[in-house]
């Protein structure tokens, strides 16, 4: 299981629908398995483990909140993450794929340099 961080902004919150909550969501990602002849494939699983509140803003500026509101905002962020799970999982999968592609490209670049004697 690997841990990934996803930056996300939940928009159109509050009574007047003019607030935004910017967060970083920490996720544990299990790769799943491709399956075999005897076992069905298992899809990757994503579990939201922690939320860091970056800012709460309205249409014009940032809203400062008392530290006692922090757990309440974290609960709201977890609820919103579950509500928008499909979009978050898709974005996280794309980010993981981009990282894997980058790592593979970096690996092949190093191998080419080694063969050239650089």
Give Cα 87 distance to the centre of its chain: 10
CA distance 99 to 115: 24
Say what the pLDDT of residue 37 is. Answer: 77
Say what the pLDDT of residue 75 is. Answer: 93
Average of per-residue pLDDT across 78-107? 76
CA distance 114 to 118: 6
Contact 4, 25 (CB under 8 A): no
Of 13 and 55, the one with more pLDDT: 55
* C-beta atoms surrounding 116 within 10 Å: 7
Say what the pLDDT of residue 77 is. Answer: 92
DSSP 37: S
pLDDT in tens, 18-66: 888 899 999 888 777 777 778 777 777 888 899 999 988 887 888 888 8
DSSP element (H, E) containing 117: none
Say what the pLDDT of residue 93 is. Answer: 77
Terminal C-alpha separation, the chain = 35
Please, what is the average pLDDT of the chain?
A: 81
pLDDT of 106 strictly over 70:
no
């Amino acid at each position: 299981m690997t841990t990934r961080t996803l930056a996300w902004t939940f928009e159109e919150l509050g009574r007047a629908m003019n607030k935004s909550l910017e967060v970083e969501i920490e996720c544990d990602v299990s790769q799943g398995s491709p399956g075999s002849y005897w076992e069905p494939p298992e899809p990757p699983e994503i579990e939201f483990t922690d939320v860091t509140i970056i800012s709460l803003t309205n249409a014009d500026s940032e809203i400062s909140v008392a530290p006692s509101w922090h757990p309440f905002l974290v609960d709201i962020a977890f609820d919103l993450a579950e509500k928008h799970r499909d979009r978050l999982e898709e974005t996280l999968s794309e980010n993981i794929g981009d990282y894997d592609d980058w790592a593979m490209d970096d690996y092949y670049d190093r191998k080419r340099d080694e063969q050239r004697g650089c």
